[in-house]
Amino acid sequence: MDIIKIENLVKNFPVGKGFFTALNDVNLNFGKGEFAGFVGPSGSGKTTLLNIIGSLDTPSEGRAIVMDKSVSELTHKQSAKLRNEHIGFIFQTYNLLPVYNVYENVEFSLLLQKMSGSERKKAVMQALEWVGLTDKIKSKPNMLSGGECQRVAIARSMVKKPQIVLADEPTANLDSKNSHHILQTMKKLNEELNVTFLFATHDEKVMKYLNRIVTLEDGKVLSDKQNNLKL
């Protein structure tokens, strides 16, 4: 059973009087628990594709079906609910909320759900345990290292126990030691919780962890194969 189905997907962006085609007839399926990634040169459409899967954007043509829901048919309420409950995001620049501490940053998406205080606390503490940051719950983002920030971001995306985590260049701002650390963390979560991880990346280090690599070029799928170089 595929958790993500992309069928004949085209994405056009209006540019001047015409269009720029960022994704051109993409067909892809991802099953539950995959640890896969999009690679390809800059501008090849990786981020655009992740945004559509994350229902932050919609296809111009074709369909993107995420957890049996067609992204283009969701109201913005429904897509917000889908993101809130089932999709986690991890960004290159961490994007933690600067005025809130580690605990509050992780807690935020649960505040949008109806959840009791004690349940929330349990979930937040567990997520912080997964990434090994229970000793920093009171720290503000500006007191943390880049690696620690990205681990908070992982905890934030994992706290709601999502089905899918979308990570756009998660290691681009990290040194190799930290990169490996967070990749190991994500891999572990993928294996233990059977969460689907999709990456967009240029990073060789990331590619080594992936089970499946989809190469994009000019908005088209150039290749889609199991990863032989895997660690």
Partner 1 sequence: MIKFLIKGILRDKTRSLLPIIVVSLGVFLTVFMTAWITGVFGDMIDLSARYTTGHVKIMTRSYAENKNQLPNDLALLEVEELLKTLNNEYAELEWVKRINFGGLLDVPDENGETRAQGPAAGKAIDMLSPDSKELERMNILKSIVKGRVPNKQGEAIISDNFAEKFNVNVGDELTVFGSTMYGSMMFKTFIVSGTISFGNAFLDRGAIIIDISDAQMALDMQDAASELLGYFKTGAYDDAKADTLKSTFNKKYSLIEDEFSPQMFKLRDQDGLAQYLDMADSMAGVMVFFWIIAMSIVLWNTGLLGGLRRYSEYGVRLALGEEKGHIFKTIIYEALIIGFLGSVLGTLIGLGASYYLQEVGLDFSSITKNVTMMLPQVYRAAITPQLFYIGFLPGLVAMTLGNALAGYAIYKRKTATLFKELEV
Residue pair 151/185 in contact by the 8 Å Cβ criterion: yes
Residue 72 binding target from Mg ion, partner 1, ligand ATP, none, CB below 5 to 8 Å by type: none
Cβ-Cβ contacts under 8 Å for 90 (sequence gap 6 or more): 150, 153, 154, 157, 165, 166, 167, 168, 170
Is residue 144 a contact point for partner 1 (CB under 8 A)? no
When the beta carbons of 112 and 231 are compared against partner 1, the nearer one is 112
Is 44 a binding residue for ligand ATP by CB under 6 A? The answer is yes
Rg (CA), the chain: 17
Q: For residue 203, what are its two tokens?
A: 């990073």
CA 61 from chain centre, in angstroms, equals 23
Residue 44: which of ligand ATP, partner 1, Mg ion, none does it interact with, CB under 5 to 8 A by kind? Answer: ligand ATP
Closest distance to partner 1 from the beta carbon of 81 (Å) = 7
Angle of helix 102-111 relative to helix 146-158, nearest 10 degrees, comes to 20
Give yes or no for residue 151 binding ligand ATP (CB under 6 A): no
For the chain, the farthest-separated pair of C-alpha atoms sits apart, in whole angstroms, at 54
Ranges within 165-204 binding Mg ion (CB under 5 A): none
| Segment 47 to 86, residues that bind ligand ATP, using CB under 6 A | 47-48
Give the end-to-end CA distance of the chain in Å, rounded to a whole number.
27
Which pairing describes strands 69-70 and 18-31: parallel, antiparallel, or unpaired? unpaired
Token pair, residue 94, equals 């961490």
> Which range of residues in 2-10, 97-105, 184-192, 213-221 is near partner 1 by CB under 8 A?
97-105
* Residue from the set 45, 54, 162, 170 that interacts with ligand ATP by CB under 6 A: 45
Q: Are 187 and 208 a contacting pair, CB within 8 Å?
A: no
We find the least distance from the C-beta atom of residue 176 to ligand ATP, in angstroms, to be: 20
Site string for Mg ion, 39-58 (x = CB under 5 A): --------x-----------
> What are the residues binding ligand ATP (CB under 6 A)?
13, 15, 20, 22, 42-48, 200
> What are the residues binding partner 1 (CB under 8 A)?
51, 54, 56-58, 76-77, 79-85, 87, 89, 91, 93, 95, 97-100, 104, 108-109, 111-112, 156
